[in-house]
């Protein structure tokens, strides 16, 4: 049972990350590779605020999300001059810089050793030390974020985001300053990714730079490509599949000597098949 609860918590965390990137890429068409960076900023800020300053988790999570939003505002404003592949390369570089800071700012981040002993959330004297309670907390935050994002997408703001994805130059002709809309959704995406980082840090109670590298951004990108672009439900479905599939392969009974390698081969083969026969994702509307 504990194992299933663990999987459920990871699904909730990665669903948040999937939704955050889907707002940026799926609805607005910005190929961003910054998800893991904001995920890491949220995790590290929460860990530092809890461990070094003794701040309550929920307050630390809110502060971390706002700091991530400010960083996203600065980075997004800088990247607003870029389009297409240049935006993707710039965001890729930001992810590398962020991880480098985590590794080298040893006095604050602990360097390669990371930060340990991060406390679990506590609210009015109730501690979420039990994994089942933590699952309920992470699931509640996911549902809250899901409905907020659904309202954003259904609003006039969301319709403009979709128009930017379809033809940015055409929408600019009607007088819309598209860079403001892209900047706003980039900040919102960074805010949500930070929430996932806060949950991850408090759940694992230990973080290090490896968890927030470029490979993590690629994994998050795979989640929304698999689940489907322009679908927050797709982001959740994609996270469920990509979290459960590698775990399910553990029970196939592969030879011990090559089990890990064969699981990766099967895992990759399944993804290739899905991309060949369903390039818009399982419940998505657009191809990347």
Cα–Cα distance between 59 and 179 in angstroms, integer? 31
- Which tens digits make up the pLDDT trace of 165-183? 887 788 878 778 888 888 9
Cα–Cα distance between 142 and 12 in angstroms, integer? 6
**Residue 239 placed within a domain:** no
Give residue 259's pLDDT.
Answer: 56
- Which of 260, 224, 249 lies closest to 25 in space, CA to CA? 224
Q: How confident is the model at residue 22 (pLDDT cuts 50, 70, 90)?
A: very high
Give residue 249's pLDDT.
Answer: 66
**Residue 192 placed within a domain:** yes
Q: How confident is the model at residue 246 (pLDDT cuts 50, 70, 90)?
A: confident
For the ranges 94-98, 126-130, 180-184, which has the lowest average pLDDT?
126-130
**Residue 35 placed within a domain:** yes
**Residue 224 placed within a domain:** no
Domain around 20:
2-212
**Residue 143 placed within a domain:** yes
> How many domains does one find in the chain?
1
**Residue 198 placed within a domain:** yes
pTM given for the model: 0.91
Mean pLDDT of all residues belonging to the chain? 87
Give residue 94's pLDDT.
Answer: 93
Higher pLDDT, 246 or 171: 171
**C-alpha separations of 150 from 26, 44, 178, 198 in Å:** 13, 28, 21, 22
**Residue 255 placed within a domain:** no
- Which tens digits make up the pLDDT trace of 143-160? 999 999 999 999 999 898
Average pLDDT over residues 206-225: 89
**Residue 235 placed within a domain:** no
């Amino acid at each position: 049972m504990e194992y299933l609860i663990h999987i459920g918590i990871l699904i909730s965390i990665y669903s948040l990350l999937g939704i955050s990137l889907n707002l940026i890429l799926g609805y607005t068409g910005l190929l961003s590779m910054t998800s893991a960076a904001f995920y890491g900023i949220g995790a590290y800020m929460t860990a530092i605020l809890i461990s070094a300053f003794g701040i309550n988790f929920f307050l630390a999570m809110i502060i971390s999300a706002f700091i991530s939003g400010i960083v996203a505002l600065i980075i997004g404003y800088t990247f607003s001059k870029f389009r297409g592949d240049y935006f993707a390369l710039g965001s890729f570089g930001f992810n590398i810089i962020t991880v480098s800071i985590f590794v080298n700012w040893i006095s604050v981040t602990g360097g390669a050793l990371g930060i340990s002993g991060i406390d679990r959330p506590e609210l009015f004297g109730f501690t979420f030390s039990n994994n089942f309670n933590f699952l309920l907390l992470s699931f509640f935050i996911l549902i809250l974020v899901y409905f907020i994002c659904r309202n954003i997408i259904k609003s006039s703001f969301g319709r403009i985001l979709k128009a930017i994805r379809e033809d940015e130059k055409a929408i600019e002709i009607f007088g819309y300053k598209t860079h403001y809309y892209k900047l706003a959704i980039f900040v919102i995406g960074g805010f949500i990714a930070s929430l996932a980082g806060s949950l991850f840090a408090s759940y694992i109670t230990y973080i290090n730079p490896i968890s927030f590298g470029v490979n993590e951004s690629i994994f998050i990108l795979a989640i929304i490509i698999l689940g489907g672009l322009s679908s927050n439900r797709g982001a959740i479905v994609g996270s469920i599949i990509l979290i459960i599939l590698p775990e399910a392969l553990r029970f196939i009974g592969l030879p011990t000597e090559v089990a890990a390698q064969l699981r990766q081969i099967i895992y990759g083969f399944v993804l290739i098949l899905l991309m060949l026969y369903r390039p818009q994702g399982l419940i998505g509307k657009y191809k990347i």
